[in-house]
Amino acid sequence: MTPFSILVFAKNEEANLPFVTDRLLEHYAADKILFVLDGNVAPSAGILCDRKIRFLRGTGQGKGAAIRMAIREVESDILVFMDADGSHDPAEIKDLLAPMAGSQVALVIGSRFLGSSEEFHGNVSDKIRYLGNVTGNVIINRLWNRTGRKITDAQDGFRSVRRSIFLTLGLEENGFSIEQEMVIRCLKKGYDIREVPSREGKRVSGRSHISPLHFFCYVGCLIRNWVC
């Protein structure tokens, strides 16, 4: 199997880390996993140290900045990104890796629209996220997608990417919108993007760090990539 690393980004997710790390360790060795921690680092660091999982302290600038930081710390050919809230199932990582084998696929997205999501059908904030995601997908497909294969979930964070490709993209977003930016830049450069069905569960504990205000970050990302 092509060498890969699993990168997990966590901000004040210490209540969820025992669940997330134990599920990961059921499938993969600790040396394949790297966490980037923002916020109150100490509680999460203790949990990871107990499990001998490596971690870095983030810059505090957001998920996008954490992703770019982590990329510099690993040398694996393939990188798998997932969240630390317990919504992503490590058993599905193999599905993100399969299209990468023996091909030049640049990016594989775990699509909630091809699978399912428990996070899209709840309160008003969840519905706003759902509508924003659908709208973003439509705009991205119309402006940049010439492949004939529709992108259904440009904003989902559960994905794999070829490291060599990632480094050519010149990604700039510091927040959650880096995932959308990654898709746009891949399409602009003509890279091959695939999607596989994924089931997103509800976060195990706590509240999402994504708020309705992040809508403007996604819109700003679309505009910046349209005019440049």
Residues 174-199: pLDDT tens digits? 988 999 999 999 999 999 999 999 99
pLDDT of residue 191: 96
Six token digits for residue 1: 């199997």
| Statement: residue 213 has pLDDT above 90 | no
Higher-confidence residue of 65 and 210: namely 65
Cβ neighbours for 215, distance < 8 A, ≥ 6 positions apart: 128, 132
Domain count of the fold of the chain: 1
Return mean pLDDT, the chain: 89
Domain at 213, CATH number? 3.90.550.10
Domain that holds residue 179: 4-227
Please work out, in degrees rounded to the nearest 5, the angle formed at the alpha carbon of residue 6 by the alpha carbons of 60 and 163.
85
**What is the model's pLDDT at position 212?**
59
Pairing of strands 78-83, 4-11: parallel
Model confidence pLDDT, tens digit, residues 31-60: 999 999 998 999 999 999 999 999 999 888
pLDDT value at 3 more than 90: no
